[in-house]
Structure 1
Amino acid sequence: MTNLPDRLVDLAEVDDFATLEDAARDELMRLWDDMSRARRHAYRGCWSGECESLARRIVVLTRHVGATNWTHIQAPLIRSGLYERIHREAGLEHPPIDWERFAAYERRLEAGR
């Protein structure tokens, strides 16, 4: 049996959301974070089973609570077109990407600010 800590959930660190919709929006942002990680770790950049599962879960929640704004999505997912493609293939609306603002953000990243 695996050794487990005395307490598995620190309730002081559990987010308290006013509504189920707020919790779903937060989870949706976390799914995009997970997608970014899955893409970074995918073997030779392939679309993995994990990516497929995450995309499906992103679509399900987006249908209920709307798209996560692109400003909360990791730059590689925007740059690669994945953010737009997932929404487009699912027939979902998303806030339009301000490509000038995105380019300025990337320039700041490159400059280390």
Structure 2
Amino acid sequence: MPPSNPRAIPVSKYMDELSKSITFRVSQLEKETLDDIARRARRPLAELLREALGMVTSGHRSSVPIAPPELLRAVARIEADMDEVTRVLRRAEVDDGFLDHLAILSLLVGIDRKLGKLAHSHWSWR
């Protein structure tokens, strides 16, 4: 009789039980890099290596890449610029309804240039 909760039955991810091992040598830097990749993926290194070799497929979602800190800081600065544009627009609405189109346009052009530089540096970083 099948159980009412089929997920409660432990099912091995792999067809055969894992009882054999393979050893290969890597440099200290390569080992640290592999460990770092596994840590970021929050998965065992052996599982990642088996997947890379096409031996198994995992049910894990692909991991979200970690953005470099300088990219996050640049995005935060652009967000602050957008907040400034919002403040200018709200002040203009509260005052007499007059919008300083030139000031708004200059802020938007500045933000556009920053985004262009950021996109260029990000894609050249990859």
TM-score (norm 2): 0.33
* Structure (1 or 2) with the larger CA radius of gyration: 2
TM-score (norm 1): 0.36
Which structure would you say has the larger RCO, counting Cα contacts within 8 Å and 6 or more residues apart? Answer: 1
Which structure is higher in helix share? 1
